[in-house]
Structure 1
């Protein structure tokens, strides 16, 4: 992990960790929290890179190539684990506050038991949303880990949420809009089946999602009806889109960076 000065780009510190870092570190309250591929979660001092705490876990023999990014909310760090769990850790000490199963592994083979929580947890209005591959999407209490609802959908991408809906692109290429309070399906788009969808984004009255051919698809956030489609490039869009000031920023695997505004109303 390397920290750079935001103004001039000079290196501030560098820290060697136990294995590859595939997840985006979380920064808050003077801490940098990093989740490595071997399942270790580090709490580092943001100013110096010194290790403040470490949380170790056992990971399954077979996992997806990816890890959930830690998410900081108040004084707590939330992170999904390769074995199907979601943990809440103290940001200050790294001590476990609570843990719960997003999905419990089942099946006779290592492949069938692979239930990685690679999607980043979403913290919204006192609820934490998490999802597992070959498993479930769940909503749990931020302070207690109490399960509010659970729905069987296989997910490895990040999700998007607002007051109206939780939007999920599943492992088969279906795009779902779920009620954030109950998990009930509001709508589902089936036309993008097996197009290896990117994480979705909510922008105004629309939901946007990219695919493996470089297309960006827009749908009505109200009912999932198609609104627009454009091609960003010929390479897959896999990085989570970033929404700022009604502009959607996208990055494809060939390095193409695009800024896209809302579709014009017909």
Structure 2
């Protein structure tokens, strides 16, 4: 028994510094899966896909930076402390600012302010129009999740699971809520999303927490999946990526757990199905799309959760969060490719290469284009016909 405990403790130390994509390999009681990534095959009669523009920001390092879209502008950042505003249509740089410290998280913006997380929990806010630094604040620990803005408040979640609201204009602390953290959690960026007058915060152990933006009072807390398994590692079921609000649905997925949709106002469950992903979901009027931890792309019916289709063409290619994009669902991989699958049946339709580095950020829509940022710092707008 002592030897087993030692193995688990050593694994816990490894987990604290490892990326979430390698979590399953740390389980000492599970046979290591050495399945090679699927080889890419030629696509017969590929659909036209083109890169509209590219821009280079700095590298992301060990963290993940996702662009923010507001007022027809993109706000991007990198690990070296660079923050930029780009024209979403052309990629032209409108301003560039220095945070004065390395960055670990971002970007959050509502078109008025731009907020990023710096080393040792520093929070830095810039004026969205000019790039001028407005204020700084100090969180209680490292920040990995991009800040979100709603109700004139900047919401920050630090890795000690403290959720803090700062005044958007002054940086003054408005409220905070401290939540417990399990012994083992994914070292990822559990996301937050504004849903009306609430902010929904992904929590460890497969739970979603809805808080009032005005004062931080909990409105609901719901389990997406219950931890299962004989060991601490097997029981990790953290929410992957950022919950998504679509109309009245709040949809999400957990690692080693469930995918499901809930009422965005009350948290009441509408449906859940077995799934495992650490990168989140995409939602459109008909489907909820999941890229699971084995590289399968799965479409669930948004109305009831029935499985519509599943594609294994990209198995073990360490996929990004998918994106419903026109008649396709797009997903990035560990070699800098963006793949386009049929939204209706999962058939592979097209592919474009950005660079050779992984795509870990969440793709987003900007007008008729999708925006992707790679770990090497390529920010690209892609159009698909």
Structure 1 stretches of 5 or more lacking a match? none
The within-5 A match list for 1:133-212 is 133-212=255-334
1:11 aligns with 2:133: yes
How high is the TM-score relative to the length of structure 2?
A: 0.67
Whether the 8 Å CA contact 1:26–1:69 is kept in 2: the answer is no
The within-5 A match list for 1:227-246 is 227-246=349-368
1:76 aligns with 2:192: no
What is the alpha-carbon distance in structure 1 between the residues aligned to residue 378 and residue 189 of structure 2? 24
Structure 2 stretches of 5 or more lacking a match? 1-122
Deviation at 1:97, TM superposition (A): 0.9
| Other structure's SS at 1:65 match | coil
Question: Which structure has greater helix proportion?
Answer: 2
Cα deviation 1:190-231 (Å, max 9, x = unaligned): 111110001111111111111001111111111111111121
| Other structure's SS at 1:258 match | strand
1:252 aligns with 2:352: no
Deviation at 1:78, TM superposition (A): 0.6
Deviation at 1:258, TM superposition (A): 1.6
Deviation at 1:67, TM superposition (A): 2.9
Q: Give the superposed CA RMSD.
A: 1.1
What is the alpha-carbon distance in structure 1 between the residues aligned to residue 365 and residue 163 of structure 2? 27
- The answer for the alignment partner of 1:98 in structure 2 is 220
- The answer for the alignment partner of 1:220 in structure 2 is 342
1:59 aligns with 2:181: yes
- Picking from 219, 231, 246, the partner of 1:124 is 246
What is the alpha-carbon distance in structure 1 between the residues aligned to residue 191 and residue 282 of structure 2? 15
- The answer for the alignment partner of 1:261 in structure 2 is 383
| Other structure's SS at 2:138 match | coil
Whether the 8 Å CA contact 2:127–2:133 is kept in 1: the answer is yes
What is the alpha-carbon distance in structure 2 between the residues aligned to residue 122 and residue 248 of structure 1? 17
| Other structure's SS at 1:15 match | strand
Q: What is the number of equivalent residue pairs in this alignment?
A: 263
* Higher normalized contact order (CA 8 Å, seq sep 6+, divided by chain length): 2
Deviation at 1:143, TM superposition (A): 2.2
Deviation at 1:158, TM superposition (A): 2.4
Deviation at 1:60, TM superposition (A): 0.9
Whether the 8 Å CA contact 2:146–2:189 is kept in 1: the answer is no
Whether the 8 Å CA contact 1:205–1:221 is kept in 2: the answer is yes
Whether the 8 Å CA contact 1:67–1:81 is kept in 2: the answer is no
- The answer for the alignment partner of 1:50 in structure 2 is 172
Whether the 8 Å CA contact 1:36–1:67 is kept in 2: the answer is no
What is the alpha-carbon distance in structure 1 between the residues aligned to residue 265 and residue 131 of structure 2? 38
| Other structure's SS at 1:88 match | strand
Whether the 8 Å CA contact 2:202–2:209 is kept in 1: the answer is yes
